[in-house]
Structure formats: structure tokens, C-alpha cells
Structure 1
Amino acid sequence: MKRIFAVVVLVFVVFNSFAKKDINAWKQEQSLPSQYEVFKENLNFWNGSYFLKEDQLDDFYNALTDTIGVLEKSVEQKNTQIRNLNSEIGSKDAEMNNLQEQLDESLKLQNSIVVLGMKLDKNVYSVTMYLLIAGVLVLAGFVFLLYKRSLSVTRRTKKDYDELKEEYETHKKNALERYTKMNMELHQTRLELKKGSIKS
């Protein structure tokens, strides 16, 4: 019985080692790690070493380089996409900067006013106008005070003139009366002298 068992085990081991392995089974796998595992399982193994034919190695190498080529092509496509996206981002940044400059210019124009050919900020213009109006009001107040003072001086001068005129008229009238009176007295004295010289 032991012999039969040993023979069965020996036959099984020999059958397994000489059994036809599918050396192309790895080509059915989709991923590179699973292809490698199936490739390794279907190699001939003896005494800790793997044995393979040169065409098996060439096929696996071709599959490996094809996979690397596809991956490199995919990486190149992704790099191209990244460059395109970076270029698009750069153009969007430039467009955004241009729009920001236009917005700043628009705000500057909106907040400015043209006076005598000069662009002035509306706040500066408002402050200038308020100061100008305040200056005109102060000047008008000063002119009004000067006018009032001048009017007061004019009234006082006119009053003084009227008083002087009245005094002059009174003096003139008195002088005329005295002159007339003196002329009359002189005339009477002459008449009396003439009468007296006639008598003598």
C-alpha cells in the first residue's frame, strides 16, 4: 500500500511538472501586475529557478514596452492638457488683469469731473467748490460791512454838510443883512454929510 501511494504521488508530481502550461495566459490580463503574476505562474520552475524560452521573454518585453508606451503617451497627453490649461489660466489671468485695469479706469472716470480741461476727483471738486462758496460768502459779508460803514459815513457826512449848509445860509443871510444895514447907514451918513455941507 505504501508503494501504491508513493507511485501515485510520484506520478502526480511528474504529471504536474510536465503538464502543458499556457504560456500566453498572461496576455488575457488587463493590468501589468496581474500580467506579471500569470506570466510567472506559467513559467517552468525547477529547483528554485524559472526557465523560459526566448520568444516568451520577447513577448513579455514587447507587452511591457507597449504598456510603457501607452502610459508615456497618456502622460504626454496629460502634460499637454496641463500646458494648455496653464496657458488658458495665463490668458484668463491676463484678461482678468485687463478687466481690473478697465474697472479701475472706469471707477476713476466715474469719480472724476472735467473742469477747465483738468480731471478732478469729485471729492476734491466738492471741497474746492464749498471753499470757493465760503470764500465768496465771506467776501460778500466783508463788502456788506464796508457798504454799511460807507453808508453810515455818507449819512453822517450828508448830515454835517446839511448843518454846514444851513449855518452857511444863516451866516450868508446875516452877512447880507449886515451889509445891507451898513450900506444903509453909510448912505444915510453920506446924505447927512451932504446936507450938512450944503448948509455950511
Structure 2
Amino acid sequence: MKKATIIGLLTFFAFTTYVVGQQEEPAPSLNSGTISSQFDYINSVSNNFQEYKVVKRTNLDKIRKNVTDSLNVFKDQLVTVKKDLKERQEQIAGLEAQMSELQDQLTLAVSERDSFEFLGMPIHKSAYSSIMWTIVLILTGALLFFLFQYSQSHKVISKARKDLEDTMEEFEQHRKNTLERERKLKRELVDAMNKRPV
């Protein structure tokens, strides 16, 4: 967190210096301009003594006040930036929580869309579809099997009826032949009894 703050401050100072440097610089003084230009001004108005610069105490106090004021402004701005950063982090945390909740709701909605309860048990639609098609195929197979069995049984029954009819005809013919034979035998018997001398 401290590194981010320092980087933010350095970026802010660099940007401020760049923006101020791009603008037309007013005449140098201790009442306006950047801190750097104020130091340049003090350097230019100060007297030289051997290899030293002699600075007026009023100028030194003025630049100290200006630096302190600038630092206080930067501190206030830093406090504001930190406050904004904290608010944004809280907003981000809130949005992440909402996103997580929405993701859970989406997952639940997709799960509810793709499944339903069948006979009191939750079942996925694809599994239900597979089960239903399996049942349909089994029932179709059973229907075809029973139709085949029915046609085979129908053939057997038809053949049995035909055989029965043929047997009944043979039996009827045999009965007629037997009756005819019996009549013939009775006639012959009657004729033979009539021919016998008494």
C-alpha cells in the first residue's frame, strides 16, 4: 500500500511539474510559480560570498512557508486520494460480491432450466430424454416382437383351422361312406334273408 502511495505521489508531482512547465511561466517571484522556480528566484537574487550564497532571512522564511503549504496541499490531496482509493476498493469488493451472487444465481437458474423433478427425484433433462427414448425403443421392440408372434400364431391358427376343416370333411366323407356301407350291408342282409327258403 505504501509503494502504491509513493508511486502515486511521484506521478502526481511529475505531472504537476510537467503541466506547470508547459504553461507560460510568470515572472519569477516568491509569491507565484512552482517551488523549483521560487528556488531559482532565490538563487538569482541572493548575494555571493566566496563559494556561498547569502539568502535573505525573509526570502528563506517565505520559501519555507511556500514549501510547507505545498506539502500540506499534497498531504490533503494524498488523504483524499487514499479516501477515494478506499471507497473504490469497497465498491470493487461490493461488485465482486454481487458478481459472485449473480454467478451463483445463474448457475442455479441453468441447473433448474436443465433439470426437473420426476417421480419426486431431480433429474437432468438429457438423462430424462435418454430414459424416455430408451423406454420408447424397448416398447417399440416389444410391439414388433408381439406383432411377429401374433402373425406367427395367426398362421398356425389358420393352418390348424384348415387342417381341422380338412379333417372334418374327411370325417364327414368317412361317415357318409360308413353309412352307405352299413345301408348296403343291411340291404344285402335283408336281401339275403328274403332269399332264404323258409
TM over 0.5: yes
> Residue type of the partner of 1:118?
M
Deviation at residue 32 of structure 1 after TM alignment: 1.5
Query: In 2, distance between residues paired with 1:96 and 1:159?
Result: 82
Identity, % of aligned pairs? 25
Tell me which of 76, 79, 82 is aligned to 1:79: 82
Deviates more, 1:47-56 or 1:171-180: 171-180
Deviation at residue 150 of structure 1 after TM alignment: 0.6
> Residue type of the partner of 1:82?
L
Match of 2:94? 91
Deviation at residue 177 of structure 1 after TM alignment: 6.2
Runs of 5+ consecutive residues of structure 1 not aligned to the other structure = 1-24
Query: In 2, distance between residues paired with 1:34 and 1:57?
Result: 14
Match of 2:129? 126
Deviation at residue 136 of structure 1 after TM alignment: 1.8
Query: In 2, distance between residues paired with 1:44 and 1:187?
Result: 185
Deviation at residue 182 of structure 1 after TM alignment: 7.0
Deviation at residue 146 of structure 1 after TM alignment: 0.4
Query: In 1, distance between residues paired with 2:185 and 2:91?
Result: 124
Greater gyration radius: 1
Query: In 2, distance between residues paired with 1:70 and 1:58?
Result: 18
Query: In 1, distance between residues paired with 2:74 and 2:35?
Result: 11
Query: In 2, distance between residues paired with 1:141 and 1:47?
Result: 121
- Kept in 1: contact 2:114–2:125 (CA 8 A): yes
Aligned positions of 1:54-69 closer than 5 A: 57-69=60-72
Deviation at residue 185 of structure 1 after TM alignment: 8.1
Is the counterpart of residue 167 in structure 1 residue 170 in structure 2?
yes
Query: In 2, distance between residues paired with 1:181 and 1:113?
Result: 88
Tell me which of 99, 111, 115 is aligned to 2:114: 111
Match of 2:13? none
Query: In 1, distance between residues paired with 2:186 and 2:96?
Result: 118
**Secondary structure of the corresponding residue to residue 29 of structure 1:** coil
Query: In 2, distance between residues paired with 1:46 and 1:170?
Result: 164
Once the two structures are superposed, residues 109-154 of structure 1 have per-residue CA deviations (whole angstroms, 9 ceiling, x without a partner) of 2233433233444344334333332322221111111001111111
- Kept in 1: contact 2:35–2:66 (CA 8 A): no
- Which structure has more RCO (C-alpha within 8 Å, separation ≥ 6)? 2
Deviates more, 1:170-179 or 1:114-123: 170-179
- Kept in 1: contact 2:46–2:56 (CA 8 A): no
